[in-house]
Chain A
Amino acid sequence: MKVTTHTTTDTLTLVLDGELDASSAVVLDAELNKPEILNYRKVLVDCQRLSYISSAGLGVFISHLQRLQDSDVKLVFFNMQEKVFNVFEILGLDSLMNIVPTEQEAQAA
């Protein structure tokens, strides 16, 4: 699992590459735990190369979502593969999290 970041003035984009499981979730958790993340208006998560997510990966996003919302930071997922989106659907997270098809829609969200 590789996480790379791009920043603009008010947006942090996390590009996920690989499989997010109980072993690799710590890498993502470290990124979302950085205090400066609350300085952005949006955190966009590019999931194009995210080929797998387990409950440990979902748990990382869930554990940070309220903190981000409390600080008015929007968390938006985009470019998600169907099989990864399906994992969010199984738990009903697709209706509780902001998941959009494209980067343009994520930027406009």
Chain B
Amino acid sequence: MTSHLRIACSRHNLQQVRDFVRSFLMAGHRNDVIVNQVVLAVDEVVANFIIHANGEDANQFLDLMLALTEHRLDIEIEDQGHTIFIPSSVAPNPDMREYIRQGRRGGMGMALVSRIMDQVEFFERDAHTVCHLSKTLG
């Protein structure tokens, strides 16, 4: 089973992305918490592409592809813009006490993604950035 969505790079389209992932996963009557985790991981990566890679330029596009084979979910998010965006460092264990003390509001998104998904990979393909996420679903 596969499904595809193209969106313009506006943060107002994040709702559409979440609805797309939810409806794809809910077709399998999966646990609400697991579905929400995967929705969150995709939302975080897409928000990063929209805000940080494309500066919310609604003339740029992202393509999302979801594929489910047996229990393995593969997600590919391809940035159609020409700025290569590879997150430099993912903090797997952010010190949340320190974040609170500093009143810091960013830097948690990719930590969430790496804790939720089994595999997280960013790479360059045909001068575009691609993010590949995968997870085994019960």
Chain A interface residues (CB < 8 Å from chain B): 19, 21-23, 52, 54-56, 58-60, 62-67, 82-84, 86-87, 90-93, 96
Contact = CB atoms under 8 A, between A and B. Distances in A.
B115 interface: yes
Interface of B: 11-12, 14-15, 18, 32-33, 35-37, 39-40, 43-44, 47, 50-51, 94, 96-97, 99-106, 108-109, 111-112, 115-116
Contacts of A82: 32-33
Given A52-B39, A54-B44, A90-B116, A66 B100 contact: yes
A90 B106 CA distance: 16
A54 B103 contact: no
Contact of B14 (A23, A58, A63, A86): A23
A54 B47 contact: yes
A11 B36 CA distance: 31
Given A22-B14, A56-B105, A87-B112, 19 more contacts: A22-B11, A23-B12, A52-B18, A52-B40, A54-B109, A55-B106, A56-B109, A59-B106, A60-B105, A63-B103, A63-B104, A65-B103, A82-B32, A87-B36, A87-B40, A91-B108, A96-B96, A96-B97, A96-B100
A91 B94 contact: yes
A68 B135 CA distance: 38
A38 B66 CA distance: 46
A80 to B, nearest CB: 13
Contact of A21 (B47, B103, B112): B47
